[in-house]
Amino acid sequence: MSAFKKKLMILIFAAVLAGLSRFPAEASFTVEDEKKLGREFYDKLDKSNAILHDEKISAYVNAVGNRVLSASDRRLFDFRFSVIRSDAVNAFATPGGYVYVNRGLINLCEKESELAGVLAHEIAHVNARHIAQTIERSQKLNMAALAGMLAGAFLGGGGDLSAAMMGFSYATAASLYLRYSREQEEEADRLGMMYLAGAGYDPPSMLDFLKSMRKYEFYSNTVPSYFLTHPGTDERVRYLDGLIQTAYSSRGKESILGNFKRIQTRLLITSGDLEANRRRFQNGLNKNPLDVDDLYGLAVTEEKAGNLDLAIATFRRALSLAPQDADILRDLGRTYLKGGHTDEALLCLNESLRHEPGDPEALLLLGQAYEAKGDFDKAVSVLDLLKGKRIDDDDYFYTLAKIHGRAGHKFESHYNFGIYFKRKKRTESALFHFKAALQSLPPGDGRAEEVKGEIAALSGRGDMGQRGREPSGPR
């Protein structure tokens, strides 16, 4: 198991244990309890950097999830759909309407409607309050065992780590509590199928995805996490097939939002496995040399590998097929900038923003291009457009600090250096810059309180075990 997944398991365990310890042993687990505990799970995952905050990917997954949700007649919670930075094949829901899907699962889907089917099934588990039922049924266990059981259930594949942490048999817990009951699984499939069809998607897609999972299991020689969190696959296949034959014979659409392959391409790019990505995109091009998404993915892969000339040539092939594609224009601009071709980068980035105004990635690159050109005021004005947006790229804060410094803006430069070093867990450097930022402010400036809060948070713990408070927004 990777160090990341171990850390994630521990954080989940801590969140569940902290949340459940506040509930009386004999009390019912209310809707409000679910909301509170679900939020704790989300916050722990977010602080551990487990959640992928890519604006386009998040918007897409939430759009699919909310379309499915629109066909639901139960609204106990405000749902939130998030992507986990993991190539493991898994999806899970936690209390309170929080649905998570791993990057690896999305890339295993063959069409948009399969992703919709997975989300529909998870929505159904939440709406039917199956997790609350599991918690109530499990309250005879001690809190440590219960927390470990739920951590393993939500993540899937916890195995030996869960047992070692909690000192109880994972296999025993699995046989008693880890699995949704057959009745719960059938209810989730029945409700999920209703949501899927009601949203206009093709009902057999839910079954198609399960079959893809079984192929994956066969070829990879591993048991996908999804099979652990959603057991009884053979029964599910038969049950879903029966539903399709008897109640859902009318076909729906496999694609409604469209652009699913581009989302998969973006997810592959975030994985960082350049050689695997190169093979995947090249195999796609061997089948269809005119596939824009595979050309785009291959170009980005070559850019990340440092093969700039090959990347530019591949971007241009993609652009000849899709001349108004904002992603291609933006990342071609990135490649030109990386190679020192500032004027060409500016042309591509401005054209990208003309087709997709407000794209955070393009704005950041455009600011960097103006900095490279020596136009610091223009660079600052472009980056100011990112205020209020959540930026997960640490180098963004470094770039912003550097540009403000070269423009003579002392407070903004020191403040953003402070944020950068805080995120890098370099406490002393962060404190130095926050204190310098505070000293640069005139008396009575309202920004002082926020900086004092950052200093207090860092001074209170020297090891920077957590990132502390997230900044209110870029400066």
What domain range includes position 401? Answer: 395-475
312-355 pLDDT, tens digit each: 999 999 999 999 999 999 999 999 999 999 999 999 999 999 99
363 domain residue, yes or no:
no
Model confidence at 206, in pLDDT bands (50, 70, 90)?
very high
Would you say residue 423 has pLDDT above 80? yes
Which of 5-9, 18-22, 428-432 has the highest mean predicted lDDT (pLDDT)? 428-432
Residue 15: both structure tokens together: 């969140």
The sheet carrying 80-84 orders its strands as 80-84, 98-102, 91-94
What per-residue confidence (pLDDT) applies to 152? 53
**Boundary of a domain, candidates 180, 211, 246:** 246
180 domain residue, yes or no:
yes
Residue 73: both structure tokens together: 């007649």
150-192 pLDDT, tens digit each: 555 454 443 333 333 333 333 333 333 446 778 888 899 999 9
| Dist CA 81 CA 64 (whole Å) | 9
Would you say residue 123 has pLDDT above 50? yes
pTM: 0.80
400-420 pLDDT, tens digit each: 899 889 888 999 999 999 999
**Boundary of a domain, candidates 225, 246, 267:** 246
In this structure, are strands 98-102 and 80-84 parallel, antiparallel, or unpaired? parallel
54 domain residue, yes or no:
yes
More confident residue, 15 or 312: 312
Sequence-separated (6 or more) residues with CB below 8 Å from residue 102: 83, 84, 86, 87, 88, 89, 90, 91, 225
What per-residue confidence (pLDDT) applies to 150? 52
Model confidence at 462, in pLDDT bands (50, 70, 90)?
very low
More confident residue, 5 or 92: 92
Q: Are 330 and 352 in contact (CB under 8 A)?
A: yes
Residue 435: both structure tokens together: 């204190």
70 domain residue, yes or no:
yes
Kindly state the greatest CA–CA separation across the chain: 74
30-76 pLDDT, tens digit each: 888 888 888 888 887 887 778 998 889 999 999 999 999 999 987 78
Sequence-separated (6 or more) residues with CB below 8 Å from residue 378: 370
Would you say residue 380 has pLDDT above 50? yes
| Percent of the chain whose pLDDT exceeds 70 | 80
Model confidence at 18, in pLDDT bands (50, 70, 90)?
low
What per-residue confidence (pLDDT) applies to 35? 87
Q: Per the structure, how many domains does the chain have?
A: 2
Q: Are 422 and 430 in contact (CB under 8 A)?
A: yes
Mean pLDDT over 292-310 rounds to: 97
More confident residue, 240 or 9: 240
Would you say residue 143 has pLDDT above 60? no
Mean pLDDT over 371-396 rounds to: 84
**164 class by beta-carbon count within 10 Å (0-12 exposed, 13-18 middle, 19+ buried):** exposed
**Boundary of a domain, candidates 217, 246, 275:** 246
Residue 455: both structure tokens together: 């200093």
261 domain residue, yes or no:
no
Model confidence at 19, in pLDDT bands (50, 70, 90)?
low
Model confidence at 10, in pLDDT bands (50, 70, 90)?
very low
Q: What values do phi and psi take at 100, rounded to 5? A: -120, 140
135 domain residue, yes or no:
yes
321 domain residue, yes or no:
no
Range in 179-188, 202-211, 214-223, 271-280 with the lowest mean pLDDT: 214-223
DSSP state string for 83-132: EES--S--EEEETTTEEEEEHHHHHH-SSHHHHHHHHHHHHHHHHTTHHH
Q: What values do phi and psi take at 51, rounded to 5? A: -90, 130
- Decide: helix, strand or coil at residue 73: coil
